[in-house]
Amino acid sequence: MTRHGLLLIGALALGGCMTASAPSAPPRPAGETALRVTVNATPDYVRQVILSRAAARGTAGSSPNARTIVLERQMSDTTPALQAVCGPHKPGRRVSVVITTERAGNRTAVTERRFLIDGDGTRCAVVMTPEDVVAGNRALAELKAQAESQMAGR
């Protein structure tokens, strides 16, 4: 083999070593972190409907201030997608759905955000998958329909 042939083989081998990459962490999911809907009802009435819907599902809700409702439940496990964002499952981890209501003229703007909260109080915003967005938007549409139909019947 000629000297140039050996140099070419050496260069290709070295280039292959340099371009090989080490395994990387799973990609961070991309997606929505908040869902929104506007309801044709007062903020107080929308909050009442949110709390009654949660109670009907067996979920306790709290209201840390006049604009916010927090719905929480314990998590027994953390999915790989959530682990990519918030780290491995920890004992005491819970999901927290934070719903804010703000007056928007004679209507109410509702925003839903989700967080994982560990037992030590560490809070991590959840990036929703496309399936989460579809399910969340469906639930907000049901909230809107229920609040508006009940408001019309008052």
Q: Give the pLDDT confidence score for residue 17 in this predicted structure.
A: 42
Give the per-residue SS3 of the chain. Answer: CCHHHHHHHHHHHHHHHHHCCCCCCCCCCCCECEEEEEECCCHHHHHHHHHHHHHHCCCCEEEEECCEEEEEEECCCCCHHHHHHHCCCCCCCEEEEEEEEEEECCEEEEEEEEEEECCCCCEEECCECHHHHHHHHHHHHHHHHHHHHHHHCC
> What pLDDT, on a 0 to 100 scale, did the predictor assign at position 30?
55
The fold adopted by the segment(s) 25-152 is TATA-Binding Protein (3.30.310)
- pLDDT under 50 in the chain at which residues? 1, 3-28
How high is the pLDDT of residue 154?
66
Q: What is the pTM of this model?
A: 0.76
